Structure 1
Amino acid sequence: MAQPESSTYAPSLRIAVLLNSYKSPFINQIRQSYVKTITAVSPESKLTFFYPAEKNEFPNPQDFDLIVVGGSNVDPRKSHDWIQQVHQFVLSVIRDHPDKKLCGVCWGHQTISRIFGGEVVDMDYPELGVTEVKLTIHGQQFFQTAATGRSKVLRLQQHHRRAVSVKPRGFISLSEANHCFINEKGTILTFQGHPEKDAETAKLRIKDIERWFQLNIQNQAIVSEVFRRMELEDDGPIVWKRILEWVVEVPRAEN
């Protein structure tokens, strides 16, 4: 992973993470991936995990500096009760705690987009492994202190077969292809990619190459190539450092 250029750490924060996977056999590893990547850039930050899909758990926004709406193994377009509760939770945070910072990752990115009028569609070709995404002018400005030396792109682990096709209302594109948004007030930031995933965590889902691409999981040449893509350098630490810096920034409406 690319390391933040500065030797200084990001702010120490209280972070709530919503893990939205339903009966995932990898939930412990997913949880640890958040702990590993965030504490690498902010050792004193404290993470607390919640499980809306299985335990109907949600944080009290007053207790946290940042709320992360994480990934899931469920289609965000479904109307399950717990998905609707996630929608209501996000809306209640925005209504009752308008300056609270929210960050959506993968499923969270897609779900927040849908809440604000964006559309999610099946991709013609799923993305798997580290992928380079071009930043817009707004994205280059937002990440300018973090992506030095590669200021026009971000590289993150991707693991999805759905994408946002229509930008949500009131949001600004920080990257091409609707991979990263920030709302106009500057309180909601979302990523299609996974800043929390390292290669080890990404490899847990290698069997998806059979479901998504009809590739033979027994073919070592194929598996080795996918592993190679997952092992490419990514900007997870750079992104987390910038996210935590953004959390303590004053929302635009108050500047």
Structure 2
Amino acid sequence: MKVLIVLNFATDKPWGQLSVESFTDNIRSHAPDAEISVCRLASGEDLTNSSQYDLIVLSGGTFNLISDVPLPWVEQALALIRRTAKDSNGTKLLGFCWGHQAIQFALGGKLDVLNKSNIGVETITLNAEGQNFFDGRSSLKMHKYHKRVVSEAALGFKLLGSNNEILLSESGNIMTFQGHPELTSEISRNLLDSDDGSYVDNSTISSITTPHDGLYIWGRLMKFVISP
């Protein structure tokens, strides 16, 4: 399995490298032989030929897709999304937080801003479709760290979790999550400690030490990636 992790943030803070390690560790815990490449897109690295990968993962980030003029790297991310949706050649695409929002935005969905940032572990209620996908579970516990959300999903996506939290394309090759299955309490604490006031001020913070379902979610996603 060839995997490309696209980083939509640029930072020299510890949480950046911890996030990369979490992505790679979670993937390799379920796919030990995975060949993993990292593209630091927001830091100026160019995307390589996306069609060569079995899986592309779009990370979180802070760029405001609602009101800011897209930077060149953002345009690259949106083009990648549209290209993969149009002609995936077997490539699966996963988006988390900003990646979730970017995928929906690129394909015609709508975004909105929360009154308060949402940080910490929360329970996501699954509908019938979600329960079927996630082995009969009625809910998932996931880390959150965001202040923008998907208010209307793009056409061609079905809802698996409440409030557009988890979306799966009808084509079966794109899945997006508002939450962060890669986050841990350590990464969340580092994010909080390095925040410049953009997220922590006027935020709603749930416990970041609450047990969560990240490892299970990654296991289910690896099955999703290798399924026809």
TM-score by length of 1: 0.81
Distance 1:212 1:18, change over 3 A: closer
Greater Rg over alpha carbons, structure: 1
Residue number in structure 1 paired with 2:59: 70
Q: Which has the higher strand share?
A: 2
Relative contact order, higher structure (CA 8 A, sep 6+): 1
Q: Partner letter of residue 133 of structure 1?
A: I
Q: Partner letter of residue 20 of structure 1?
A: N
2:189 to 182, 185, 203: 203
Q: 1:130 Cα shift?
A: 0.7
Matches within 5 A, 1:1-255: 13-25=1-13, 26-77=15-66, 78=68, 79-144=70-135, 151-207=137-193, 208=195, 211-212=198-199, 214=201, 229-250=207-228
CA RMSD between the two structures: 2.2
Question: Does the Cα contact within 8 Å between 2:120 and 2:145 map onto a contact in 1?
Answer: yes
Q: Partner letter of residue 172 of structure 1?
A: K
Query: In structure 2, what is the Cα distance between the partners aligned to 1:210 and 1:94?
Result: 35
Query: In structure 2, what is the Cα distance between the partners aligned to 1:163 and 1:18?
Result: 20
Q: Secondary structure at the match of 2:10?
A: coil
Distance 1:152 1:63, change over 3 A: same
Q: Partner letter of residue 249 of structure 1?
A: S
Alignment length, in residue pairs? 224
Q: Secondary structure at the match of 1:245?
A: helix
Q: 1:211 Cα shift?
A: 4.3
- How big is each residue's C-alpha offset from its partner over 1:102-143, in whole Å with a ceiling of 9 and x where there is no partner? 111110100000012111111122211111010111101111
Distance 1:209 1:155, change over 3 A: farther
Query: In structure 2, what is the Cα distance between the partners aligned to 1:97 and 1:212?
Result: 35
TM-score by length of 2: 0.90
Distance 1:209 1:50, change over 3 A: closer
Q: 1:190 Cα shift?
A: 0.5
Distance 1:143 1:59, change over 3 A: farther
Q: Unmatched 5+ residue regions in structure 2? A: none
Q: Secondary structure at the match of 1:168?
A: coil
